[in-house]
């Protein structure tokens, strides 16, 4: 009995570690082939990500948007909804928060920050209401609609920021700066770590409790495990589909809003280097568990914060990080597809 | 004016069409290919490199098709043999290959973003002398290159192969009735891998067209999401090569229009969203049709 239990844990940790191990191996081949010492580069990356308070703060700052995009994906995935639309929500939520943040009078922070975040969540949720309803009512595949909506959101915000909302006198495509009262406070100045990290982490924790202890959390997991069974026991899977899709959109929008209020302080075209897609990988690696999402988000945050520095301190191109991230994504779903391996797009 | 626009529209259609035909065949074989963008990017880079090194456009095209096929096969093996989710693996390839390409540009050539080696041989344009002066027809048919002709020739060729050949039947069966294919003693996963290899090769050619057919250099943003527009085209086309070609042509027109509309008050970014909007509209329409049919059956 004990052995069986241990072997389950062993298999679980192995399946979670395997994508990272494979990605690190591929990265090592690329590094070695281009004349770098893989071990030395990786050692430098670990140092740059976790060596000292300042670097840990940078890593946690980089992990902040990923906590929420990972969460956005996880909320939907556990109910069996394959939503890849967090990227688009991130853009639109960021845009909404930036607009509220610069267009408002200089109200107190306690009013302005909740207002801006509410706007970003609202926009994100509304953006995914359509795919949710289409999936629930007409069976339209949510993967394709949410993927397409990402591209639409990127183009839409880039139009807004180049035309109607362009900051006066600004050459690059960006909105004006948000007012200082709309900025999320810094936690450890001079580092850029901001209150958004705490907000995001608490949302992830809340998700953990919701999933484990609430009725809706239980129902949505049941729907994810078997929609037919849930219907048989009187749960309406269609309502859950729409609900988790909107919830996922709200969280994706909040991720963008927090990124604007906490770090960027304005909306810039090309705002996200694929945070939404990394979030999908995070949710898959974490198998939708709250603890896993937090851990994977910090690991990916470490990758990107280390990447920025290794280019400065060695001649290894920053893009090694993208290679590693892509490889983790690929292997996150390999062999142990967590039930989605058979997912096919409809006609 | 209209001639120039038509000519440009055919030009912008070609890469979308090449990749879309590949993606269509892949999807009929049971794999939705979200990695077309990465195969296109690899093809574009290799085409420039080979064209410059070997001074041969033909060799460059072959090399671009080959690298696309290699990337496609790798992706396919992860999906079919490691039973990984095709959507995530496709997106992962898009991220990883884009990173790898930029990494290699920096570490091999010491450039970031744009790679412009000397002596790149462009794809030759084929003049059709007696059509040259003819309005509209001349603009469409003359002074196109071999890849454009190849892309359009592939439309009836693939349609024929799918419906009239043994290979086509096996491919369609692999996509829609995998168990049956296995039961008659064929290897569905191998057939699916071959269809992804084909899609990769086509996407590689599309990349070569962008780099040595149009601009003559490589840029990290050269594909500009055309792999995903190709996805939109084969979704638009559902399972038909002709409809897919129509979708590619439509999106090629949008692409050309968007380039021409820049700086004329019409927001190019909004025109760029059209292919994606159309796919959602088409899928919704299909959903409504299915729903109506289901309702009629129950009545």
- Ordered domains of chain A (ranges, CATH): 54-313 (1.10.3470)
Please list, in sequence order, all residues whose beta carbon lies within 8 angstroms of the beta carbon of residue A27, skipping any fewer than 6 positions away. Answer: A38, A42, A320, A323, A324, A327
What value does the mean pLDDT of chain A take?
A: 87
Summarize the confidence of residues B59-73 as an average pLDDT: 97
CATH of the domain at B99: 1.10.3470
**What is the number of CB-based contacts under 8 A between chain A and chain B?**
161
A267, pLDDT greater than 70? yes
Which of residues A69 and B270 earns the better pLDDT score?
Answer: A69
Q: Is A166 on the interface with B (CB under 8 A)?
A: no
Q: Is A143 on the interface with B (CB under 8 A)?
A: yes
Exposed e or buried b per residue across B237-248, where buried means at least 16 C-beta atoms within 10 angstroms of its C-beta: beebbeebbebb
pLDDT value of residue A2: 53
Total structural domains in chain B? 1
CA distances from B37 to A27, A307, B33, B46, B109 (A): 21, 24, 9, 14, 22
Minimal C-alpha gap between A118 and chain B (Å) = 26
Minimal C-alpha gap between A171 and chain B (Å) = 16
Q: Is B233 on the interface with A (CB under 8 A)?
A: no
pLDDT value of residue A170: 67
Minimal C-alpha gap between A27 and chain B (Å) = 10
Helix (H, G, I), strand (E, B) or coil at B34: coil
Summarize the confidence of residues A93-103 as an average pLDDT: 93
Of A162, A317, A329, nearest to B269 by CB-CB distance is: A162
Of B27, B100, B235, nearest to A323 by CB-CB distance is: B100
Helix (H, G, I), strand (E, B) or coil at A108: coil
Helix (H, G, I), strand (E, B) or coil at B144: strand
Which chain A residues are closer than 8 Å to B108 by Cβ? 34
pLDDT value of residue A323: 92
Q: Is B282 on the interface with A (CB under 8 A)?
A: no
pTM as predicted: 0.88
DSSP calls for B239-253: T-HHHHHHHHHHHHH
pLDDT value of residue B128: 79
> B11 lies in which domain range?
2-298
pLDDT per residue as tens digits for the range A196-218: 999 999 999 999 999 888 888 88
pLDDT per residue as tens digits for the range A208-256: 999 888 888 888 888 888 888 888 888 888 888 999 999 999 999 999 9
Which chain A residues are closer than 8 Å to B82 by Cβ? 334-335
Percent of chain A exceeding pLDDT 70 equals 93
Q: Confidence class of residue A335 from pLDDT cuts 50, 70 and 90? A: low
pLDDT value of residue A71: 96
What ipTM is given for this predicted complex?
0.87
CB contact under 8 A, A334 and B78: yes
Q: Is B297 exposed, middle or buried (0-12, 13-18, 19+ CB in 10 A)?
A: exposed
Q: Is B180 on the interface with A (CB under 8 A)?
A: no
pLDDT per residue as tens digits for the range B220-271: 889 988 999 999 899 888 889 999 999 999 999 988 887 777 667 777 788 8
Q: Which of A147-151, A229-233, B143-147: highest mean pLDDT? A: A147-151
pLDDT value of residue B88: 86
A346, pLDDT greater than 50? no
Q: Half-sphere exposure of B99 toward its Cβ, with a 13 Å CA cutoff?
A: 26
Which chain A residues are closer than 8 Å to B277 by Cβ? 148, 152
B23, pLDDT greater than 80? yes
Which of residues A308 and A101 earns the better pLDDT score?
Answer: A101
Summarize the confidence of residues A174-182 as an average pLDDT: 86
Which of residues A103 and B205 earns the better pLDDT score?
Answer: B205
Q: Is A32 on the interface with B (CB under 8 A)?
A: no
């Amino acid at each position: 009995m004990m052995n069986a239990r241990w072997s389950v844990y062993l298999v679980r940790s192995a399946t979670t570690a395997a994508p990272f191990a494979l990605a690190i191996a591929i990265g090592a081949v690329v590094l070695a082939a281009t004349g770098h010492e893989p071990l030395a580069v990786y050692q430098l990356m670990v140092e740059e990500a976790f060596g000292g308070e300042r670097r840990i703060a940078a890593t946690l700052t980089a992990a902040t948007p990923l906590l929420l995009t990972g969460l956005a994906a996880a909320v939907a995935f556990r109910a069996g909804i394959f939503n890849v639309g967090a990227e688009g929500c991130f853009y639109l939520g960021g845009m909404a928060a930036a607009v509220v943040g610069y267009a408002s009078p200089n109200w107190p922070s306690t009013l302005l920050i909740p207002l801006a975040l509410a706007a970003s969540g609202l926009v994100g949720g509304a953006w995914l209401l359509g795919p949710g309803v289409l999936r629930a009512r007409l069976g339209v595949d949510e993967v394709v609609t949410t993927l397409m909506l990402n591209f639409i959101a990127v183009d839409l915000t880039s139009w807004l920021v180049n035309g109607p909302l362009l900051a006066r006198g600004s050459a690059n495509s960006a909105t004006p700066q948000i007012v200082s009262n709309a900025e999320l406070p810094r936690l450890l100045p001079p580092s850029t770590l901001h209150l958004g990290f705490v907000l995001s982490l608490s949302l992830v924790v809340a998700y953990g409790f919701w999933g484990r202890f609430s009725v809706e959390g239980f129902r949505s997991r049941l729907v994810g495990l078997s929609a037919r069974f849930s219907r048989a026991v009187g749960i309406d899977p269609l309502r859950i589909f729409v609900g988790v899709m909107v919830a996922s959109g709200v969280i994706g929008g909040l991720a963008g809003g927090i990124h604007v209020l906490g770090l960027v302080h304005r909306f810039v075209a090309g705002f996200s280097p694929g945070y939404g897609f990394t979030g999908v990988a995070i949710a898959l690696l974490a198998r939708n568990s709250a603890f896993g999402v937090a851990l994977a988000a910090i690991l990916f945050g470490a990758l990107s914060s280390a990447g920025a520095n290794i280019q400065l301190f060695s001649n290894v191109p920053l893009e090694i990080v993208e290679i590693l991230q892509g490889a983790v994504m690929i292997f996150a779903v390999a062999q142990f597809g967590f039930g989605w391996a058979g997912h096919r797009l409809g006609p | 004016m209209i001639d120039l626009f038509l000519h440009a529209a055919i030009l912008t259609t070609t890469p979308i069409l090449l990749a879309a035909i590949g993606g269509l065949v892949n999807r009929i074989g049971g794999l939705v290919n979200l990695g077309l963008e990465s195969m296109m990017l690899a093809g574009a880079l290799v085409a420039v490199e080979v064209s410059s090194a070997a001074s041969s456009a033909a060799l460059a095209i072959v090399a671009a098709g080959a690298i696309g096929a290699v990337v496609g096969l790798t992706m396919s093996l992860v999906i079919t043999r490691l039973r990984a989710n095709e959507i995530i693996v496709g997106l992962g390839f898009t991220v990883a290959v884009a990173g790898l390409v930029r990494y290699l540009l920096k570490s091999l050539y010491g450039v970031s973003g744009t790679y412009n080696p000397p002596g790149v041989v462009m794809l030759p344009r084929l003049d059709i002398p007696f059509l040259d002066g003819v309005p509209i027809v001349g603009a469409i048919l003359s002074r196109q290159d071999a890849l454009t002709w190849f892309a359009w020739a592939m439309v009836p060729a693939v349609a024929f192969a799918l419906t009239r050949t043994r290979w086509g039947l096996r491919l369609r069966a692999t996509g829609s009735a995998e168990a049956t294919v296995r039961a008659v003693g064929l290897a569905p996963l191998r057939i699916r891998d071959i269809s992804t290899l084909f899609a990769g090769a086509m996407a590689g050619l599309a990349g070569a067209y962008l780099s040595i057919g149009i601009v003559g250099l490589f840029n990290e943003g050269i594909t500009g999401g055309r792999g995903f527009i190709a996805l939109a085209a084969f979704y638009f086309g559902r399972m038909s090569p002709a409809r897919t070609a129509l979708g590619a042509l439509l999106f090629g027109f949008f692409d050309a229009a968007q380039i021409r509309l820049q700086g004329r008050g019409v927001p190019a970014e909004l025109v760029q969203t059209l292919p994606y909007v159309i796919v959602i509209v088409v899928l919704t329409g299909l959903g409504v049709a299915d729903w109506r049919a289901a309702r009629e059956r129950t009545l």
